[in-house]
Amino acid sequence: NQLYIIGGDGAQAAAQVLYNEITKRELKIAVAFIPRSVDNDITVIDRSFGFDTAVEEASRALNAAHVEAKCAVNGISIVRLPGRHAGFLVMYSALANRDVNICLIPEVKFRLDKLIPYVYDRVLGKGRLVIAVAEGAGQELMEQTKEVDASGNVKLADIAAFLKDQIEQHFKRKETECNVKLLNPTYMIRARPANAADSVFCSRLGQSAVHAAIAGYTCFSLGMVNQRMVMIPFEHILGSARRVDPSGHMWQTLVSATGQPSFL
């Protein structure tokens, strides 16, 4: 018998519990886990399946936000994208789109008294602005809640709505017109069918997982590491996460592309 589990941290923790119980009962069941995260924050592996598709769809949303912003007087589009603790999706989609002027992610803190005046000056100079913000960015600037969702995660405050309110107040104080629009394409990103690259990747993951389980391996996660399909023991992935490095090459490339300064 074989048990295949697909998911994020919660699913892998469940896989470990199931494996422990299977071992305790001395059952002949192979347990294989395939990690998945739209945030692409799973450590060790090169990337999570579905990430390419998510970047593609998020980039389309950013393009629509740019069109919306440039069609309004002093138009500002704020696009809220997935990214509770990691900003990989926001960073990659902004790089793929190149219409984004400001990118905000959880790993890079910012101050409102630096950000809002920059938004104001940028809109006055160019007539429009697109902000891509991860859902987990700037949480320390808002009132925190102890409410949890169905998965047990603390509910995040709405950073996009918060920024919209702060920007509109600033423009009002300056007696300047602005048109701020919010876009939240989260469910479009999550529900979109896999693109060609992800379809091929998923086929390889599925076949490799089955081959490994039939060969007698168990208690392993399967993923691509250095372009090779490998089996990884649960303990090497469980409880760890990858984050964007603010001093790394990818983030510095993004900053160069948007032209945004430090907001600290």
Active site residues: 39
| DSSP for residue 84 | S
CB atoms within 10 A of CB 221: 24
Q: How far apart are CA 191 and CA 188, in angstroms?
A: 5
Residues sharing a CB contact under 8 Å with residue 186, sequence separation 6 or more, in sequence order: 80, 81, 82, 135
- Residue 184's nearest CA partner among 52, 65, 49, 8 is 65
Q: How far apart are CA 137 and CA 135, in angstroms?
A: 6
Encoded tokens for 166 = 């702060």
Q: What is the CA radius of gyration of the chain?
A: 21
CB atoms within 10 A of CB 77: 27
Residues sharing a CB contact under 8 Å with residue 47, sequence separation 6 or more, in sequence order: 40, 224
- Residue 94's nearest CA partner among 84, 104, 86 is 104
